[in-house]
Amino acid sequence: MLKTLTRALLFCSILAIKLPDAPHPQTLTLGHIIHRKAVMRQNIRKIQTREEKELSAKLIDAKMAELLRDKDAQSVDSKVIRDFAGHDYVVARYGELGYGILNVANDDVVEIAPFSPLPFDWASDDVRYVPWVGYYEKKDGRFFDARSKEEISDDGLLDLEEESVRFVNQSIVDKNAAVFTEPIRQSSSKPKDINISNSDDRINVLVYADHEVPNSWYFKRNYDQYPKNPGNICGYVSASLLLAYNEIFKSTGYFSRAEASKYIEPYEGILRSNGWDGVPILADSFPWKMWGEGIGESVPSTICSAIDSFLSAKGKNYDIYKYYWEFSTITDPIKDGVPAAYFGSMKKDQNSEKRINHVVTVYGYYDDGRLLCHYGWDGFSQVVMSQLGAFSLGGVVAIYNKSSHLHNRYFSDRVTKKNYCGCGVLMEC
């Protein structure tokens, strides 16, 4: 931890001098475009037959079985979808809940969400997908975000096409470079209660990564107990989750008493020996009330400032770990037992430095490099993402608590009416 903190501090000081938040704009010339199309053609592998599609689904089944230690993982259906540059992806679904997506260009299982609803309409004729960015459906000749239902502008389509190309090319480079080749380590200590094919109550089943932060269940069980993300405020949603995590488990006082009573609702449930039953509820209004109605898209420095402003004059001792993707790995904070906001960045406007970021909260990783994260969407609290092809621009923000632990009473037993601290201590009065 000391080493990474030293590196973080060193890097932050360099960053302050040299690196801007946004990269230099790149003007697309005809030469660029011709080159890009040629590169695209090289990488386009299409699913031509039903057998190929079913074989792809079996690759997803195999990865699902490996990651979840569920030998019986078997998809019930599969479907070919595309990105905005003609690359195929195969989606396998596992009943009412759960799906996995294969990047056909390099046979990498790019996304596994074993307990999440499908993020698009399975019956839709034309579904598009850009890893880490989103899902889209075509209706009446126009594309819409499958979740927000917002129409995608012509400029937006160009950006999505560019990111589609960048992602596939990078994923192939990453795979050839064998960035992540460590084998999955089978651990006998991991629970074996996962059976995604048969469980009737899969929302209560947890995914286990090889490495996780303490109290990672807080993120896993946080299906919808966090501020919603209707307006691209995912950076603030992630900051809210990180602040609540520190308040509940690390050292109370991250929220003032007034803020806690207003925005954190203690969870009242049956306490079980293997952990709590549910998570204290963080109010939807929290990010807007704390940081203003005008909040929207963010870059790492915006979120660092937001965290600092929220914590100012509270007397908490903490470091903000801030890294840019080129120089870091998202797994560093997780190794230190600290959950982190992971920012991916893609162009927003071809002619400016404006970029949009997608931000997720990472709380675990696998030995093969896959990340276990909370997507900031309802039901997407346990999503496993491949790092192959992941954003080359972006960053990592984490809060390293350095204050001593102070108890709180965010958990109460419905039966005994007794209160508990997030650390597990019974609060006597």
Q: In sequence order, which ranges of 316-367 are alpha helices (DSSP H)? A: 331-335
Structure tokens at 212: 């996780």
Query: Closest separation between CB of residue 362 and Zn ion, Å?
Result: 24
Query: Closest separation between CB of residue 282 and Zn ion, Å?
Result: 19
Give the nearer residue to Zn ion in terms of CB position, either 5 or 423.
Answer: 423
Query: Closest separation between CB of residue 411 and Zn ion, Å?
Result: 10
Q: Does residue 8 belong to the site contacting Zn ion (CB under 5 A)?
A: no
CB 127 within 8 A of CB 119: no
Query: Closest separation between CB of residue 317 and Zn ion, Å?
Result: 17
Q: Does residue 423 belong to the site contacting Zn ion (CB under 5 A)?
A: yes
Give the nearer residue to Zn ion in terms of CB position, either 164 or 412.
Answer: 412
Give the nearer residue to Zn ion in terms of CB position, either 59 or 406.
Answer: 406
Q: Does residue 248 belong to the site contacting Zn ion (CB under 5 A)?
A: no
Distance between CA 295 and CA 289 in Å, rounded?
A: 10
Distance between CA 94 and CA 180 in Å, rounded?
A: 27
Kindly report the three-state secondary structure assignment for every residue of 300-318. HHHHHHHHHHHHCCCCCCE
Structure tokens at 9: 């501090």
Residues 90/192/245/282 CA torsion (nearest 10 deg):
70
Q: 382-411: which residues touch Zn ion (CB under 5 A)?
A: 407
Pick the piece of the chain touching Zn ion (CB under 5 A) from 3-11, 31-39, 265-273, 413-421.
413-421
Structure tokens at 19: 């690196």
Residues 376/381/384/388 CA torsion (nearest 10 deg):
10
Give the nearer residue to Zn ion in terms of CB position, either 199 or 251.
Answer: 251
Query: Closest separation between CB of residue 206 and Zn ion, Å?
Result: 22
Give the nearer residue to Zn ion in terms of CB position, either 65 or 427.
Answer: 427
Give the nearer residue to Zn ion in terms of CB position, either 124 or 403.
Answer: 403
Q: Does residue 279 belong to the site contacting Zn ion (CB under 5 A)?
A: no
Written as one letter, the residue type at 292 is G
Among 102, 130, 388, 421, the residue binding Zn ion under the rule CB under 5 A is 421
How many chain residues are in contact with Zn ion, going by CB under 5 A?
4
- DSSP reduced 3-state for 168: helix
Q: What are phi and psi of 8, to 5 degrees?
A: -65, -45
By the criterion CB under 5 A, which residues form the site for Zn ion? 407, 421, 423, 425
